[in-house]
Amino acid sequence: MGDFDHTPCDSAYALVYELIMATDGRTTDLLETIVNGSLTPKVIRQEVIHPSMAAGEMIYRESVLLDSLGNAISHNFVFLKPESMPADLLDELLLDKEPIGKIMKRLNVFSRRTVKAAGWRPADQITNLEGEPAETIFFSPNAMIPYKTYSVQFSGCEDSGMELLEYFNPSLVEHYLRSREVSWTGLERVR
């Protein structure tokens, strides 16, 4: 996938990114539909942290979701709060083998997502969940990067069990539309 150096003005691009950024469902399902295949997580960093303002410990996780060709589809920063999430979900997440959304679906975990912010950020203004400067794996100096920040609250828990900040590859939709055009062109030739 190539670099995408501007905010999408084409209505098809805008619509797909709007769906990704606004959905309060499992983003993984939508991304897998777009890439027409499974995604695999690659954990960059995972550690237990002890926040000064909160009770209990949290797990900080930074990962990317890769398609079958190894292209980075999303770059994710997550705070996991063990005391506010199902133990079986936490155990599976720590194995690093599946995206969070797929694990939740497989375990039939009921949750509510609340989108807190979404939009586009210049590549030089990318931050992690703590507001510290960060780089995405698909960094390009002039790119505008789509993102979404949201929390996940699990059934039976008072507080949110996860806080997530996801950045999406700005070439994702371009790649998706191009692959569909190739297929469509092939169909046209058959006729």
pLDDT in tens, 92-151: 888 877 778 888 889 999 999 999 999 999 988 999 999 999 988 876 778 889 999 999
Q: Which residues pair with 127 in a beta bridge?
A: 133
Look at residue 1 in the predicted model and tell me its pLDDT: 36
Number of structural domains found in the chain:
1
CATH number at residue 51: 3.40.1410.10
85 domain-assigned: yes
Model pLDDT for residues 63-80, shown as the tens digit of each residue: 999 998 898 999 999 999
Higher pLDDT, 22 or 43: 43
1 domain-assigned: no
pTM of the model: 0.82
Q: What are phi and psi of 173, to 5 degrees?
A: -70, -40
User: How far is residue 86 from each of residues 7, 27, 45, 160, measured CA to CA in Å?
Assistant: 38, 20, 22, 11
4 domain-assigned: no
2 domain-assigned: no
Helix residue spans in the chain (DSSP H): 11-22, 27-35, 87-93, 100-106, 172-190
pLDDT band at 81 (very low <50, low <70, confident <90, very high): very high
pLDDT band at 50 (very low <50, low <70, confident <90, very high): confident
Task: Identify the three-state secondary structure at position 16.
Answer: helix
Helix residue spans in 126-171 (DSSP H): none
pLDDT band at 87 (very low <50, low <70, confident <90, very high): very high
- For the chain, give the mean pLDDT: 81
Q: Which domain holds residue 106?
A: 11-190
63 domain-assigned: yes
3 domain-assigned: no
59 domain-assigned: yes
5 domain-assigned: no
